Structure 1
Amino acid sequence: MKQVFIEEKTFDRIDFTQNPLIKGEYEYCNFVNCNFLESDLSGIKFLECEFLGCNLSLVDLGRTSLKEIKFKDCKMLGLNFGDCNEFGFVVSFDTCILNHSSFSGTADPIKKRVKFKQTVFKNSQLHEVNFTECDLSSSVFDLCDLTRTIFEYTILEKADFRNSFNYSIDPELNRIKKAKFSRSGVAGLLDKYDIEIDLTN
């Protein structure tokens, strides 16, 4: 199939489950209130694009390039960002639902640790998200719900969790040097010990 190059175009309220997005490269494009449910976005290159109010649940991200991409008010259930092309990967999430998604990469034992450094998650829901063996150095979790999200062998150095909640992070399994936590959030670092913490004193 012929690859296309599309620049500075707005796609508004398009149902890509009926008319699949053509493979190619998209630069400086906006996708507004579009439906990508279970779409095949594998191999497509996105550069400095914005997805606003879109449903991207269960899309195929195999070798997809996401460079300087902003997701806002999007539903993004069950995605595997570890399958994306790592070169130039930079994304941010604002008011998104990322439940059951994974940033841990594929099952390939040769694959290196997946790098998501300085990723910004803002006002988003991340229930049961898998961050196993990710590098999230200097990432920001601002007002995020991290219920049952998995952090194992994850690099969280200089990450900021001060305004987020419901996380459980084992300091013995993760690298958390200079990571930032609120006083109330410290309990999330001690879950494994099954102790009660009185934050009033």
Structure 2
Amino acid sequence: MKPTSILLVALCFYLREVSAVTWYFLRWYTPDSSVEFIEFSMDMVVPSIPEAATYYLWPGLQDVGTSGVYQEVLDGRSGDWWIGAGWCCSNPTLSWGGGFNVAAGTTVAINMTRAIPTTADWTSVITQDTQTVTDTFPLAYKNMNQALLAIELYDVTWNFGELVWNNVKMVVNSTATSWCTGAPENYASATAYTMTTPVVTTAGGLTTCTIEQIVMESPA
């Protein structure tokens, strides 16, 4: 059975006061719980930042048991965008990775990969121009069966315009393809979005799904 909810937690940054969270996300599932994502990559176009607020914009992978989210998070709390990788938030408790500030209108390349064999750690590489941060996370024992593109907002509205993802790539250790060619889950039908037609290829027991562009336009 597919889990119906995302782990509703705010990264590894704990808010001091109770806040209202609003979620917008698209989610792809592997064909069954025994199949795993082994790569998730994309180019993220950094949107405007109207104010210092708790904006968390991220791609991420979630495991079968929904015990956490492995994610690269664009964080707007300071009034400038900062991006970094991490595992949220416990089971296990891990240190947050490195990161850097990024400007609105620029593009950040994000890659999350676990090498074969599947006992290997996950590696995150975040790159913009000459800035690159690489981090590894000991999460090989987690079966990552969900890939998400998410907007997580605390006490702020979606006021930063479109969120554009280019060159989205997902790889699973299966020859099944329908998980790629069908539409992703649109949580609570909350997001107005457009998506180019997915392209799927299979080789060496792996299926690669590529999507040229996904635009999360606005609340539906």
- Select the structure of larger CA radius of gyration: 1
- Structure with greater strand percent: 2
